[in-house]
Structure 1
Amino acid sequence: MKAAISTLLGSAVLALTATPVQAEEATFNNPSLVPEVAMKAVKAAVKACREQETQVTAAVVDEGGNTQALMRDRYAGPHTVDTAISKAWTAVSFRTDTLELRDITEPGKSGYGIQNLPNVTILGGGKQIMVNGRIAAGIGVSGAPSGGIDDQCATAGIDAIQEELL
């Protein structure tokens, strides 16, 4: 009987000491922006586009694609809200900035069908926000006369928070 209890206690101690390791192996941590940093990024993106005399909407989504921050400039078109969110979502979902996706989704290219998937927007202005090589969020800008300008403004949004991402 003593041997059985001793074996049982030994097994219980082993199980308790192994549990944290198993829990760590069964989960992972993803970087994520706090709301204030996400808002700082969208404000900087909108400001950068204003300086180019264009009105846009900027959105930040978390690494799961959920909208975290949004700012629509006064005269940005109503379509720019959904488009900015979709650009950010697309960059996070495909782990590629939307300007790069544009090049691989042209007719005859390997990614051609991607643009037909729900919520995907293959126009410049969607970028990943990286922290230590991992996606923390995405930013999308919509409303400038070209995807290239949207992309520049999204970059300005990321640049504004870069020091806080270290």
Structure 2
Amino acid sequence: MQQLPSRAHRLLVSVAMLCAMQSATAGKDEGASFAVKMLTPETAMVAAQAALQQCRNAGYQVSVAVVDRFGITQVLVRDRFAGAHTVEFASQKAWTAASFKMATTLLAQQTQAGMPMSGIRNNGHVMAAGGGQPIEAGGALLGGIGVSGAPGCDADDNCALAGLRSIADTLEF
């Protein structure tokens, strides 16, 4: 006849199992939630206005979009004579920069036909053309800025970078 384990034996086994579970999760975040850093709407507006002004100073009529880290539009501004298509393109560039955490100029290079990441271009929301920049601070993604309407992607990029420079001192690093 088999004896049932004593209370002390059951307690010892329970403690051993608890220790094993704790060591298995050691170093892992055990919380049920997490915190993220977000741009304030005011900061997003400053970046958009600076990008718009840079393009205006160069004689370009553009649209500028700033999205949060999740790709949701925070600010969208279109200059008076910017083409209708620039609204969508600026938004897509900002979304793409935030989504892939890289400048859209770099993504354009890495997704050329025949490249391993070329399939990314099949997503209708991806804009693999210059003018989108991720907004990062302290190792955290905060969002993205996208500019469309200047003559060429380099000019769009310059305006987006002006937007980033305008908020660099206010971001926590």
- TM-score normalised over the length of structure 1: 0.84
What CA distance in whole angstroms lies between the structure 1 residues aligned with 2:84 and 2:35?
36
The answer to whether structure 1 residue 129 and structure 2 residue 135 are counterparts is yes
> 5 Å matches for 1:1-166?
25-166=31-172
What CA distance in whole angstroms lies between the structure 1 residues aligned with 2:133 and 2:113?
23
Q: Deviations over 1:12-40 (max 9, x none)?
A: xxxxxxxxxxx972221111111111011
What CA distance in whole angstroms lies between the structure 2 residues aligned with 1:132 and 1:161?
14
Residue identity matched to 2:56? R
Q: Deviations over 1:48-104 (max 9, x none)?
A: 011111110001000010000011111100110111010000011111110000111
Larger CA Rg, structure 1 vs 2: 2
Could you list the runs of 5+ residues in structure 2 that have no partner in the other structure? 1-28
Gap change, CA 1:115 and 1:33, over 3 Å in 2? same
| Matched residue SS, 1:29 | coil
Aligned length: 145
- TM-score normalised over the length of structure 2: 0.81
1:117 is displaced (CA, Å) by 0.5
Q: Deviations over 1:92-133 (max 9, x none)?
A: 111111000011111111111111102111110111000211
CA RMSD of aligned residues (A): 1.5
| Matched residue SS, 1:110 | coil
Could you list the runs of 5+ residues in structure 1 that have no partner in the other structure? 1-22
Conservation of the 8 A alpha-carbon contact between 1:31 and 1:131: no
Residue identity matched to 2:80? R
What CA distance in whole angstroms lies between the structure 2 residues aligned with 1:144 and 1:51?
11
What CA distance in whole angstroms lies between the structure 2 residues aligned with 1:113 and 1:151?
24
What CA distance in whole angstroms lies between the structure 2 residues aligned with 1:96 and 1:131?
13
Residue identity matched to 1:38? A
User: 2:19 maps to which residue?
Assistant: none
* Structure 1 outlier segments of 4+, above 6 Å: none
| Matched residue SS, 1:121 | coil
